[in-house]
Structure 1
Amino acid sequence: MLLHEILVAAAREVPDRTALIVPATQPHAHPATPAPAHTSWTFAELAAHARALAAFVAARTSPGGRVGILAHNRAEYVAAYYGVPWAGRVLVPLNPRLHPREWADQLARSDAELLLGDADLTAELGWTGGPTIDPAEAITTPAPDFVAATDETAPTWLLFTSGTTGRPKGVRLTHRSLSASMRTSLACRPVDPDTVVLTPFPLAHVAGYQVLAHHLARRPAVVLHRYRPAELASIVREFAVTSLSLAPTMIDALLDHVHEGDGLRERIRSISYGASPITPELIRRVHELLGCDLGQGYGMTELSGNAVFLTAADHRPELYAAAGRPGPGVEIRIVDDAGRPLPIGATGEISVRSEQVADGYWRLDTGEFADGWFRTGDLGRLDPAGYLYVLDRKKDVIITGGENVSAREVEAVLREHPDVRDVAVVGEPDARWGERVVAVVVPAPGRAVDPDALVTLCRSRLAGFKIPRRVLLTDALPVTGTGKVNKPALREQVAAC
């Protein structure tokens, strides 16, 4: 299935149904930038705007050319999701939270021919590699007809990874891989006839595929400019939101703003989460304060979205540590360093085979894509019932005195302490042991963290070499746009302490 076929069919079947809502919230932008107006487009309007944008870029770029987009979340961004691939071009989303040097690097590496962008961001960039156009102009400028894309295997989006383990890599997503990802998600997270999903994730991330998945189900998506938990209740009421897509850090922040009579408990039926582990305590608070279903998704850019799901029915204490089971059409196996499959219960690298696996990295062959399988770089294991447990990133394993320490295992123990709101564990160089374990802790509100108490807790649960040698306190952990802890940035902070 081609991406634009979703819109063409929806515009034919339910032309007047709302497809996209962008509430009028001031984005994180230059102070001189006026607050955007509330935007609501029907499927017919979104299809018309996407087609106009397709004609615009087709007239200004070569077939298969790359089109960058540097913008805050806005309605025209979703039009570009569809419109650029519709024209047979490749959309290159740039994360607005990155440094201008990083934007310039990704535009140069992708050989972009055109840049769609918000003026406050493109002014910081100062790009001279091609025309720079506001997306609103691209959907309103008359353009001649164009030749629509017909190849499902052709690249649609070139998404750069978050760079949590090194320099971001460009991932080639195709019509086929994104369509497969949508079908998998809809099979594992069924969409009701009245579902209205809200997502605050930057559209520059693969999490944006959820917007398209709901369009495939002919349901609207509410896309926020910026996540402000204090404003969420009013947005939920105004736009009849029934489902939220959040990272655990976002859920935690939201629960601090849940109040009696705000309507959230009555209106929110489900919250889907991913990007980082969730704690049993946070699950308990969600059930207590909101009483809604929870669903976890495990995936990544290279998988065009989520591929493994822990359903609402699976949210039982004995499965809280699981990522879930593979969706339809997704195969998971655990392999050793040589890529050989390991038996059930063994720990190794998670490898995935599915139509939703991306087409590879842009101008880079590092060996992760081979024989139809993608090696994720995550360590995990499968249990006899088929549940996947994600243990850590391979590159986050700390080697101290010749022993391997999973940062995630230590973090899980530390999160059990009531004084800990959040925590991340990294290794720092040590002349004697190679590395030593360091825990960076965010205290719970109103609590005073005693580092010795945390070490004592770890000593009661973990082997001696896994116990943190330093415990540092911080107000907040550095995170990426999707809510993952930015471990390289954290290691720099630790080195400076």
Structure 2
Amino acid sequence: MLLHEILVDAAREVPDRIALIVPAHTPRTPGASGAPTSHAPAGAHTVWTFAELADRSRALAARVARRTSPGARVGILAHNRAEYVAAYYGVPWAGRVLVPLNPRLHPREWADQLARSGAELLLGDADLTARLDRPEGSTLELGEAVADTATDGAEFTAAGDETALTWLLFTSGTTGRPKGVRLTHRSLIAAMRGSLACRPVESDTVVLTPFPLAHVAGYQVPAHHIARRPVVVLHRWDPAELASVVSEFDVTNLSLAPTMIDALLDHVRTGDGLRERIRAISYGASPITPELIRRVDRLLGCALGQGYGMTELSGNAVFLSAADHRPELFAAAGRPGPGVKIRIVDDAGRPLPTGATGEISVRSEQVADGYWQTDTGEFANGWFRTGDLGRLDAEGYLYVLDRKKDVIITGGENVSAREVEAVLRAHPDVRDVAVVGEPDTRWGERVVAVVVPVSGRSIDPDTLVDLCRAHLAGFKVPRRVVFTDALPVTGTGKVSKPTLRARLAEDTPTGR
């Protein structure tokens, strides 16, 4: 099956059934630049049927096909909005590759990813695309791309190969520079079907997601369209807004990160209807604590389902069911979905016995087609080495123990420690630096920079924070800067980050 065929079939079978809801919102106060944090106008809900979504996706495909060459990459830089979902389908429908850009990144990062992908066209929101220096005619406002569906039905050659690329998603890696992940029709559809098998969708299910559509978590939108059910997409994450939307649109299921669940529970009030309406919450992006599980049970009383996955797996591949959310399995990530094989390997890639700790390796149709224009060895012989450390027990449950890759996860966002370190090392008074994640009750982890100043020099921590803010996305900027005389090192001279984390946990050195 090809991605757009989900829409074509649904529009034929249930044309008038609602496919997509993007609720009205109240724009946040403009930032220093004067740009609002969300694009669509307040006060107007967007509600599209399957027929309407198919028409808009087809119109977008025709416009993209006229302005680009076959197989071209098409960037998209936008806030969550209905037209974004049309691009999910429409760009691959035209035989082109969608390249989502995270709106939270720095413009330099957008420009780098557009250049590396070789994107011929950029779809987007004007308040975002205006921050990029693009050649005239290479940018198309996203709303215009789906307009006039009845009068702009130009013919185009649809994609016809399951192995063709659909989305090229950039994700942080340990090298300090994000890598593009090649997702295909086959890998995405396999991930969607696996999720539906492990999280069955009922005939009245209405799922809500606040995740940025630029993330791989967006795969759940077409997954629910396979089941012919509507998806509610928030413009942005706001727990108070989510609580009101649940009631207005009869939402039954939520897809959230643990940090979002924690924040939502702060907004649960007697009589607000959340406990009566919410049947299940699916979570991922970071582990959940037993305390939060118990709090969900106390305040909402709904089922929980965990998913373990990543961009390179086109979504989730391992699932912990509601029935498995019992104390003895709280630390487990779950069992592999249908068609997914998991093995634990040593540094040489050799399989380890049950119970042994090693790197998690995955084999499945939902594994991506590799990295864009680079081969770093993670994809080999049909297996993808995740870079995560874990173990399998005798019953087939996977336990994710740590990250072999040096990545910090804060609020569901991946931060490469090496990328932050490279920026900080550019300061003339920084002799050495190590960036690590520090536990945070709300965000999972926060970014901490441990800095060794040049002998005899004094550094204002705010100066280092400002330096990072000038070059990196906001979520990558250190929340704490700690100064030390020397970094702990191993016998081979490498910085020992486990030792560093332990020292940070033991005391609170002076710093910002």
Smaller-chain TM-score range? Answer: 0.7 to 0.9
Deviation at residue 422 of structure 1 after TM alignment: 5.1
Quote the offset at 1:140 in angstroms. 1.8
Partner residue of 2:4?
4
Query: Are residue 124 (structure 1) and residue 101 (structure 2) matched?
Result: no
Offset of residue 26 of structure 1:
3.8
Cα-to-partner distance string for 1:128-153 (whole Å, 9 max, x where unaligned): 27521111111125252001111010
Shift of residue 436, structure 1, vs aligned partner: 5.7
For the residue of structure 2 that corresponds to 1:56, the secondary structure is: helix
The residue type paired with residue 52 of structure 2 is E
Distance 1:49 1:34 in 2: 17
Q: Which residue of 1 aligns with 2:49?
A: 42
1:47, CA displacement in angstroms? 0.5
- Pick from 310, 325, 332: which aligns with 1:300? 310
1:129 and 1:314 map into 2 onto residues whose CA distance is 55
Match of 1:490 in 2: none
Partner of 2:89: 82
Q: How much has 1:470 moved relative to structure 2?
A: 2.3
**Matched residue count:** 437
Which residue does the alignment assign to 1:65? 72
Provide the residue aligned with 1:368 in structure 2.
378
Q: Kindly state the Cα deviation for residue 471 of structure 1 after the two structures are TM-superposed.
A: 4.0
Maintained 8 Å contact 1:304/1:356? yes
1:17-416 alignment to 2 at 5 Å? 17-26=17-26, 30-31=35-36, 35-36=41-42, 37-128=44-135, 131-140=138-147, 142=152, 144-163=154-173, 166-396=176-406
For 2:61, the aligned partner's letter is A
What secondary structure is seen at the aligned counterpart in 2 of 1:59?
helix
* Alignment partners' CA distance in 2, 1:264 and 1:337: 47
Letter of the structure 2 residue corresponding to residue 341 of structure 1:
P
Aligned partners of 2:70, 2:344: CA distance in 1, in Å? 39
Q: What is the Cα deviation at residue 437 of structure 1? A: 5.8
Q: SS at the partner of 1:350?
A: strand
For each residue in 1:320-379, what CA deviation from the matched residue of structure 2 results, as whole angstroms up to 9, or x when unmatched? 000000000000000011101000001100000000000011101000001110000000
Change (3 A) 1:432 1:153: closer
Shift of 1:11: 0.4
Distance in 1 (CA, whole Å) between partners of 2:351 and 2:162 is 31
CA distance in 2, matches of 1:470, 1:273: 29
CA contact (8 A) 2:173 2:407 kept: no
Amino acid corresponding to residue 62 of structure 2 in structure 1 = A
Q: Which residue of 2 aligns with 1:487?
A: none
Q: Is the 8 A contact 1:53 1:139 kept in 2?
A: yes
Deviations 1:274-324 (A, max 9, x none): 000100000000000000000000000000000000000000000000000
Residues of 1 paired with 2:225 and 2:40: CA distance? 29
CA-to-aligned-CA distance 1:242-263 (integer Å, 9 cap, x gap): 0000000000000111010010
Offset from partner CA, 1:214-240 (integer Å, 9 cap, x none): 000000000000111012221001100
The 8 Å contact of residues 488 and 500 in structure 2, kept in 1 or not, is answered as no
Q: Distance in 1 between matches of 2:240 and 2:142?
A: 29
Given that residues 3 and 93 in structure 2 are in contact (C-alpha distance below 8 angstroms), is that contact kept between their aligned partners in structure 1?
yes
TM-score (norm 1): 0.83
Task: Extract unaligned runs of 5+ from structure 2.
Answer: 409-435, 452-485
Contact 2:165/2:183, CA 8 A, preserved across alignment: yes
- How much has 1:468 moved relative to structure 2? 2.3
Decide whether the 8 Å contact of 1:112 with 1:129 is kept in 2: no
Deviations for 1:371-416, whole angstroms, at most 9, x for unmatched residues? 1100000000000000000011103499xxxxxxxx99x96xx97x
Deviates more, 1:354-363 or 1:120-129: 120-129
Distance change (3 Å), C-alpha of 1:397 and 1:217: closer
The whole-number CA distance in structure 2 between the counterparts of 1:281 and 1:210 is 27
Query: Residue 271 of structure 1: CA displacement?
Result: 0.2
Alpha-carbon offset, residue 162 of structure 1: 3.8
- Which amino acid letter does the alignment assign opposite residue 89 of structure 1? R
Q: Which runs of 4+ in 1 moved over 3 A?
A: 26-29, 31-34, 162-165, 420-438, 471-474, 494-497
Kindly state the Cα deviation for residue 127 of structure 1 after the two structures are TM-superposed.
2.0
Deviation at 1:472, TM superposition (A): 9.2
Contact 1:436 1:468 in 2 (8 A): no
SS in 2 for 1:109: helix
The one-letter amino acid of 1:208's match is G
Unaligned runs of 5+ in 1: 399-406, 439-464, 475-493
Q: Which deviations, in whole Å up to 9, do the C-alpha atoms of 1:165-201 show, x marking residues without a partner? A: 6211100100000000000000000000000000000
Could you tell me which of 470, 473, 489 is aligned with 2:504?
470
Q: Which amino acid aligns with 1:267?
A: R
**Is the 8 Å Cα contact of residues 174 and 406 (structure 2) preserved in structure 1?**
no
Cα distance in 1 between the residues matched to 2:510 and 2:179? 26
Q: Give the direction of change, closer, same or farther, for the CA distance of 1:130–1:397 in structure 2 (3 Å limit).
A: closer
**Distance in 2 separating the partners of 1:196 and 1:495:** 49
Partner residue in 2 for 1:449 = none
Check 1:337–1:427 CA distance in 2 against 1; reply closer, same or farther (3 A cut): farther
SS in 2 for 1:285: helix
- The code of the aligned residue for 1:15 comes to P
Alpha-carbon distance in 1 for matches of 2:273, 2:175: 40
Which amino acid letter does the alignment assign opposite residue 333 of structure 1?
Answer: R
Counterparts of 1:237 and 1:20, CA distance in 2: 16
SS class of match (2:131): helix
- What is the TM-score when the length of structure 2 is the normalising length? 0.81
Partner Cα separation in structure 2 for residue 422 and residue 303 of structure 1: 22
1:34–1:202 CA distance, 2 compared to 1 (3 A): closer
Counterpart of 1:404 in structure 2 is none
SS class of match (2:405): helix
